[in-house]
Amino acid sequence: MLKIAQLSCGTEYAGIQGTLERVAKEYDIQLVFPDVEFDEIEPLSYEIGLLPASPSLKLMVARAVKVLEHPEDYHGVFILSCFKCAEGTYVRNEIRRLIHKNTSLPIITYNVVENLKIPNLRIRLEALRTIITRKDILMRTRQEGVTVGIDSGSSTTKGVLMEDNEVLAEAWIPTTTVIETASKVLDSLVEKSGVNLEGVDGIGVTGYGRIEVGKELRADLIQEEISVNSKGAVFLANHHKGDATVVDVGGLDNKVITLYNGIPDDFTMGGACAGASGRFLELTARRLGVTLEELGDLAMEGNPQNVQMDSYCSIFGIQSLVSALSEGAKKEDVAAAACFSVAEQVIQQQMQEIEIRAPIIQVGGTALIKGLNRAFSSILGAKVIVPEYPQFAGAIGAAVLVSSFV
């Protein structure tokens, strides 16, 4: 069983500690509080210069110092705090930095203990277990041999075939049944590359349908999408060291992941509604009679300030755009307003939950929409990187990681 140091504030008050421990056991994880004597709390806080007013946060800091003193006692660290507590957010981020700087312990953080969602907890614990048990694999920076990566998503299934760090073929097919669609993707990769299936050294699978597809294809690697997408993003951006943030606006939901040395340490998933996803941009493109790519090009020429968006909801948001068109608004301005609306929602609803660290890397199919990238860069005040093959980040991450077994 993996021994994970829990550094938290608010879990007992919120009544979730028992749930945390029960779900952790499902992943063969034991959550433990580092031992701290009462009279040690204040001195230990002074030791690292973190002096929060909250007694609970002071205890959290003291426990963090114990981890720094004896990192060999733990396999990893799980840091939790409340979303609405500014002091807790500051302490959480400072503790993360200190542990990253002074130890090699994997870290995952969670900052909404007052509104615990079991699916979000599960994916964090699964990712933490992956990071611990497969850390050597996750440190890989090159792809070797001939490998296939398949990202079995709920909307589309993506695949790549790579050889010695180069993409030889890629395929993208709308998902029907996950096994049938993955098989079509694999057939397409073989046909495009001219490489026989017998010549493939390894297959890696990630995404929504990874378990079923992995078993059917007898994959050498079946891994959750947080660590795999992160690897694909930093590989494509050639940024394997230091901090980074990955943004993936999907067709139905979104992911924002922060990394250190290419390994995830925090992330947020989901979205309030379809108005904050690629689906809203699809609806906008349909209304304008253009493709998604053309929508992005139009948005580059438009001014989002010329169109009033009365709602972030996908239904009422589209009504705002239709009303603007009927009143004579330019298509370019409407396209720009749609892109800025999605970017604003992702930033306000998700990116505020975690500490954004440069560089920011945008992946996923929507990264090809130039107007959306412009919107992110404008609102964040920093250039958001879109690497080559952004829509295949998950598949490429799987192909890179599975080459560890070649």
Of the ranges 12-26, 181-195, 327-341, 347-361, which is most confident?
181-195
Mean pLDDT within 161-166: 97
Decide if 284 contacts 327 (C-beta within 8 A): no
Edge-to-edge strand list for the sheet holding 243-249: 263-270, 254-260, 243-249, 360-363, 384-385
Question: What integer pLDDT is reported at residue 4 of this predicted model?
Answer: 98
Is pLDDT above 80 for 75? Answer: yes
Q: Find all residues with CB under 8 Å of 340, minimum gap 6, and list them.
A: 304, 375, 378, 379
Distance, CA of 231 to CA of 263 (rounded, Å): 7
pLDDT tens, position by position, 106-127: 999 888 787 888 988 998 899 8
Question: What integer pLDDT is reported at residue 270 of this predicted model?
Answer: 67
Question: What integer pLDDT is reported at residue 84 of this predicted model?
Answer: 76
Is pLDDT above 90 for 68? Answer: yes
Of 345 and 129, the one with more pLDDT: 129
Distance, CA of 329 to CA of 146 (rounded, Å): 51
Mean per-residue pLDDT of the chain? 90
Domain spans in the chain, listed from the N-terminal domain onward: 2-133, 146-226+394-405
Top-level class of domain 146-226+394-405? alpha beta
Decide if 124 contacts 130 (C-beta within 8 A): no
Give this prediction's pTM. 0.86
Indicate the pLDDT class of residue 352, thresholds 50, 70 and 90.
confident
Of the ranges 85-99, 281-295, 315-329, 390-404, which is most confident?
390-404
Question: What integer pLDDT is reported at residue 221 of this predicted model?
Answer: 97
Question: What integer pLDDT is reported at residue 152 of this predicted model?
Answer: 95
Question: What integer pLDDT is reported at residue 267 of this predicted model?
Answer: 85
Helix %, strand %, coil % for the chain, to 5?
A: 50, 20, 30
Q: For the domain 2-133, what is the CATH code?
A: 3.40.50.11900
Residue appearing with tokens 């395929």: 171
Question: What integer pLDDT is reported at residue 329 of this predicted model?
Answer: 80
Distance, CA of 189 to CA of 182 (rounded, Å): 11
Mean pLDDT within 59-70: 96
Question: What integer pLDDT is reported at residue 311 of this predicted model?
Answer: 53
Question: What integer pLDDT is reported at residue 271 of this predicted model?
Answer: 56
Is pLDDT above 70 for 274? Answer: no
pLDDT tens, position by position, 216-268: 999 999 999 999 999 999 999 999 999 999 999 987 678 899 999 999 988 88
Question: What integer pLDDT is reported at residue 256 of this predicted model?
Answer: 92
Question: What integer pLDDT is reported at residue 117 of this predicted model?
Answer: 85
Decide if 165 contacts 139 (C-beta within 8 A): no
pLDDT tens, position by position, 123-163: 889 989 999 999 889 999 999 999 999 999 888 999 999 99
Decide if 38 contacts 165 (C-beta within 8 A): no
Residue appearing with tokens 């948001």: 317
